[in-house]
Amino acid sequence: MSDVKLERVKGTVDYLPPEQMLREEIFQKLTQIANKYGFLPMDTPILEKWETLAGKSGGGSEIKKETYNFKDQGGRQIGMRFDLTVPSARVLAMNPKMPMPFKRYQYGKIYRYQEIKPGRNREFYQFDMDTYGTESIVADAECIAMGIEAFKLFGFKEFNIRVNNRKLLKGLMGYAGVDSKKIKTALVAIDKLDKIGIPGVQKELENRGINKNSINKISKIIKIQGTDDVLNQVEELVPGNEGIKELRELIKYLNAMKIRSGYSIDLSLVRGLEYYTGTIFEISAKGLNVSFAGGGRYDKMIENFIGTKIPAVGISYGIEPIYQVLVKKRGLKKTRTQVYIVPINEKVMKKSLGLASELRALGVNTEIDLKNRNLSKNIEYANKKGIKKLIIVGERDVKEKKVTIKNIVTGKERRIEFKMTIINKAIKN
Query: Is 76 an interacting residue with respect to a second copy (CB under 8 A)?
Result: yes
Among the listed residues 367, 375, 402, 418, the single contact to a second copy using CB under 8 A: 367
The SS3 assignment for 27 reads helix
At residue 47, what are phi and psi to the nearest 5 degrees?
Answer: -85, 130
Closer Cβ to a second copy, 151 or 253, answer by number: 253
The SS3 assignment for 429 reads coil
The SS3 assignment for 417 reads strand
DSSP 79: E
Dist CA 218 CA 173 (whole Å):
8
Query: Is 205 an interacting residue with respect to a second copy (CB under 8 A)?
Result: no
Dist CA 370 CA 383 (whole Å):
16
Closer Cβ to a second copy, 14 or 236, answer by number: 14
Query: Is 94 an interacting residue with respect to a second copy (CB under 8 A)?
Result: yes
Taking CA atoms, 261 is separated from 73, 224, 349, in Å, by: 55, 17, 59
Dist CA 73 CA 272 (whole Å):
37
Closer Cβ to a second copy, 37 or 224, answer by number: 37
Query: Is 115 an interacting residue with respect to a second copy (CB under 8 A)?
Result: no
Q: In sequence order, what are the beta bridge partners of 137? A: none
Instruction: Give me the amino acid identity at 142.
Output: E
Query: Is 24 an interacting residue with respect to a second copy (CB under 8 A)?
Result: yes
Among the listed residues 220, 329, 360, 419, the single contact to a second copy using CB under 8 A: 360
Query: Is 277 an interacting residue with respect to a second copy (CB under 8 A)?
Result: no
Give exposure, 212-242, as e/b (b: 16+ Cβ within 10 Å): eebbebbbebbebeebeebbeebeebbeebe
Dist CA 427 CA 429 (whole Å):
6
Instruction: Give me the amino acid identity at 105.
Output: Y
Query: Is 109 an interacting residue with respect to a second copy (CB under 8 A)?
Result: yes
Query: Is 103 an interacting residue with respect to a second copy (CB under 8 A)?
Result: yes
Instruction: Print the binding letters for residues 133-172 with a second copy: x by CB under 8 A, - otherwise.
Output: xx-x-xx-x---x---------------------------
Sign for the CA dihedral angle at 222, 226, 227, 233 comes to negative
CB of 152 to a second copy, least distance (A): 11
* Residues in 46-75 at the binding interface with a second copy, rule: CB under 8 A: 46-49, 51-52, 55, 57, 65, 68-74
Among the listed residues 117, 371, 399, 412, the single contact to a second copy using CB under 8 A: 371
CB of 251 to a second copy, least distance (A): 12
Query: Is 252 an interacting residue with respect to a second copy (CB under 8 A)?
Result: yes
Closer Cβ to a second copy, 136 or 233, answer by number: 136
Query: Is 385 an interacting residue with respect to a second copy (CB under 8 A)?
Result: yes
Dist CA 13 CA 320 (whole Å):
11
Transcribe 147-174 into DSSP letters: HHHHHHHTT---EEEEEEEHHHHHHHHH
Closer Cβ to a second copy, 118 or 287, answer by number: 118
CB of 66 to a second copy, least distance (A): 8
Dist CA 317 CA 154 (whole Å):
13
Query: Is 12 an interacting residue with respect to a second copy (CB under 8 A)?
Result: yes
Region near a second copy per CB under 8 A, out of 107-115, 315-323, 324-332, 406-414: 107-115
Among the listed residues 207, 213, 345, 357, the single contact to a second copy using CB under 8 A: 357
Closer Cβ to a second copy, 32 or 213, answer by number: 32
Query: Is 17 an interacting residue with respect to a second copy (CB under 8 A)?
Result: yes
> How far does Cα 398 stand from its chain's mean position?
50
DSSP 47: E
The SS3 assignment for 384 reads helix
Instruction: Print the binding letters for residues 292-311 with a second copy: x by CB under 8 A, - otherwise.
Output: ------------xxxx----
Query: Is 322 an interacting residue with respect to a second copy (CB under 8 A)?
Result: no
Query: Is 45 an interacting residue with respect to a second copy (CB under 8 A)?
Result: yes
CB of 222 to a second copy, least distance (A): 31
Query: Is 347 an interacting residue with respect to a second copy (CB under 8 A)?
Result: no
Query: Is 375 an interacting residue with respect to a second copy (CB under 8 A)?
Result: no
- CA triplet 199, 200, 202: central angle to 5 degrees? 65
Query: Is 404 an interacting residue with respect to a second copy (CB under 8 A)?
Result: no
Q: Cis omega before residue 101 (within 30°)? A: yes
